[in-house]
A and B are shown apart, each in its own frame.
Chain A
Amino acid sequence: MDELQGVVVLAVTNTTVTPGLSSDAFTALEPGQTEYLGRTYDPQCMQGDQYRFFGRRGTVNKLVMYYMGGGACWNNLTCGLPTCSTAPPTDLDGLDSGFGDFDNPQNPFRDWHFVFVSYCSCDIHFGDATQEYVGFEDVTVEHKGFHNAKVAERWAREHFLNPEEVFVTGSSAGSYGALFNAPLLHDVWPASQFHILGDAGNGVITTDFLQNEFSNWNFVENLPDIPGVVESITEGNGMPGYMESVADYLPDTNWANYSTMFDGGSGGQTGFFNMMLNDGNPLAAQVWWEASCQFGETALAQSDDIYDTVPDNYRYYFGTGSRHTMFGNDKVYDDTTGNVPTVVSWVEAMLASGPDGRDPDWTNILCEDCGLTLAGDPAPSPLEAPFEMRGEDIVIVCE
């Protein structure tokens, strides 16, 4: 008789995983001013509008913390357009593909609890400032991404008390939200196995941006108290130094970056990198391909540097082409272009890795023929260098 086990299970599960929360659909949460750990947070979007995030209960005690992407802005020009998402989704009905498809038996996260941290603050989820950007037309911006993230964190920890595993991820700007919030989340769930994957956010930026524009978000104010982290932002090389510091400090956790080699489009990594290369001029994002080769070269070099420093618990994946982000794309299940394993198999190997050993299939993945684009990948029209035709394929050719 195992019935006594059932009594314990009933009491434990039904005090820790919010049995009243829907497991069929996402519940929208619209927080107001929130007290949390002795501080008052004011969740809001960049123009002061209502912030909204989403939660969904799973059927296994594991949690995905997903940080939504949507560009960023940091001065009068970029925020005046703006070059970022200014409102959260009203619902998540469109989240039905890639790792967001909860009906797909191939999706390793289909049964997990899921907290969707929406994005509308234009500050890669870590801003803590109100900025008056002076220009032709002054712009006031609430960079309150850190407030939004902390309010979502509070909700998450009060609804999923002790998950066995936590997968922290996000796409594009949300990649940075995941990478920078993950150590703070590790403080919330210290007994959980952590996996952190940045999707299309490799931190390929200019020194000028890091030293002069980053401060507009008051970014360093809330960085985790981990040796080397603040220095990586204030006097270091940015993302590589940060990743090396956190992965070294939390050796039981798994860290990873995913990107296509030439992640493009005006809202892609190359688009923002080209803006930075052109003094923050938003028009440079429209000719993003001018930075494609420099982006790919820098992203790979940075990832190699990180791996060299923390080889035990950091990995990277570079796929072919120029598509920006993979989390919500079905290609994660079947694309092997460039002789790469599927993203889902690589993620499963990551999930199988921990302090007792890393799965042998969780390796660094580097595409062959990385310039070969897939159908639908961003490309200039008409084609301009480094994009060109090779037979019937569009390829990116760098020296």
Chain B
Amino acid sequence: MNLKNLALMALVAVPLAFNIGCTSSGDEATGGTAGDGGTGGDGGGTAPEPYAANICVGAKQAAAGEYCTAAFEAWATWAGDQDDSARDAAIDVASTTLEDSWQGAETAAEGAGANCSDSAWPASSAADSIKTAIDAIAQSVTDGLDLGMSGHATCAGDILDASGAACDEVLAAEGVHVGDLYADMDGSTLAQATEDAVATFSEKRRG
């Protein structure tokens, strides 16, 4: 599996750019550019009920967003106390929650006559991959800071918390979008939610 290719695939669909970091001056964060989400025909007919596999994947993306929040929060707390074991334990709990959520979504889809287990990684692999990416972000945020100084620790914690919130908001919006494609055929709702999340993140970062 080529992760770089997979990641590139979504770059077009989710053109979202976050700048992260504690800065010494008031340099501007770069806001994201909202995706257009594609364009569908309007047809004018009655929208079909959302398909169970789509609902399931939407739930998985939302759960991934919650995992994101929890993992970033664990790192934010760590910025204050540097307690490795507490951080790892919190992330392990989040991972278990993600696996349970995904299993529940798959079971619900199966009960509704749809398969939702093939389209995604296994939950454990997903959690591992997201964790690796979040670890890298957290380390880059805290690199060069003296976390013994309360100002640095607070700054890093705030940015990590904001990162988790932004990740959660965007993934929740992605989940809503894929969960019912008919409800957002032109992608404008997803684009707006993404734009809002980026704006909120940028605001928090400046604050």
Contact = CB atoms under 8 A, between A and B. Distances in A.
Interface of A: 1-21, 23, 35-38, 59-61, 154, 157-162, 164-165, 186-194, 225-226, 249-253, 354-356
Contacts of B149: none
Given A61-B13, A164-B13, A186-B41, A10 B120 contact: no
Nearest to A15: B120
Interface string B51-69: 1011001001100110010
Nearest to A162: B178
Nearest to A11: B64
Nearest to A7: B133
10 contacts: A1-B19, A5-B32, A7-B133, A8-B174, A59-B6, A158-B53, A158-B114, A158-B116, A191-B40, A355-B41
Give 6 closest A-B pairs by Cβ, nearest first. Answer: A250-B41, A252-B41, A11-B64, A4-B18, A15-B120, A13-B10
B108 to A, nearest CB: 14
Contacts of B37: 191
B126 A14 contact: yes
B60 A15 contact: yes
Interface string B162-200: 010011001100100110011011110000000000000
Contacts of A13: 6-7, 9-10
Given A3-B136, A7-B130, A61 B10 contact: yes
B120 A252 contact: no
Contacts of A355: 39, 41
A356 B39 contact: yes
Q: How large is the interface on B (under 10, 10 to 19, 20 to 34, 35 or more residues)?
A: 35 or more
Interface stretch (B42-50, B73-81, B83-91): B42-50
Contacts of A226: 43, 45
Given A1-B21, A189-B181, A159 B13 contact: no
B120 A14 contact: yes
Contacts of B1: 19-20
B86 to A, nearest CB: 22
B124 interface: no
A1 B20 contact: yes
User: Which one of A5, A7, A21 has the greatest number of beta carbons of chain B within 10 Å?
Assistant: A7
Given A19-B1, A61-B12, A161-B53, A191 B119 contact: no
A92 to B, nearest CB: 20
Contacts of A2: 17-19
Contacts of A4: 18, 20, 137, 163, 166-167
B19 A60 contact: no
A59 B2 contact: yes
B57 A161 contact: yes
B39 A193 contact: yes
User: Which one of B20, B38, B171 has the greatest number of beta carbons of chain A within 10 Å?
Assistant: B38
B186 A17 contact: no
B155 interface: no
Given A37-B51, A188-B51, A190-B181, 12 more contacts: A6-B7, A8-B174, A9-B14, A12-B61, A15-B120, A16-B57, A157-B51, A158-B114, A191-B38, A191-B40, A192-B40, A250-B43
